[in-house]
Amino acid sequence: MQPTSYPTRLLELGESTVRLVLPAEEKLSGPYATLSYCLGPNPTFINLAPSNLRELQVGIIQADLPIAFQESIHFIKGLPIRYVWIDTLCIIQSGPGSVKDWHSESAKMQDVYSNCIVNIALSRAAHPSESCLGGPTLTAIPPFEVETTGFFGNDDSAKSTATIVYFNYYREALYGQPLGFRVWALQERLLPPRVLSLGLGELFWDCIQAPNACESFPSGVGDLYSNFQLTDKAIPNASDSKTLESAWWTFVEEYTNRKLTYPEVDKLVAMSAIATRIGSRVDDVYIEGHFWKTLLDSLNWQVNPWWAQKNTAKDCRTGERGPRSLAVMKDYTLTLVDEMNPAGQVPFASLKLKAYCVEIGWNQDRPTMLGEPKWDDNVHFLKDDIDDPDERLAMVDGAKYWLAALVEGDYLAEGRAYC
**Rounded to 5 degrees, what angle do the CA atoms 339, 250, 122 make?**
80
Q: What is the mean pLDDT of residues 233-238?
A: 65
pLDDT of residue 227: 58
Residue closest to 190 by CA, chosen among 238, 252, 232, 241: 232
CA distance 90 to 98: 11
> Could you read off the pLDDT of 204-233 as tens digits, one per residue?
999 888 888 999 888 887 766 555 656 666
pLDDT band at 337 (very low <50, low <70, confident <90, very high): confident
Q: Do the beta carbons of residue 116 and residue 5 sit within 8 Å?
A: no
Res 417: pLDDT: 39
Continuous H helices in 11-61: 53-58
Contact 124, 132 (CB under 8 A): yes
pTM over 0.85: no
| 259-318 per-position pLDDT tens digit | 887 777 788 888 888 888 888 888 888 888 888 888 887 877 766 655 444 444 455 556
Q: Where do the H-state alpha helices sit in 109-151? A: 109-114
What residues does 367 pair with on adjacent strands? 362
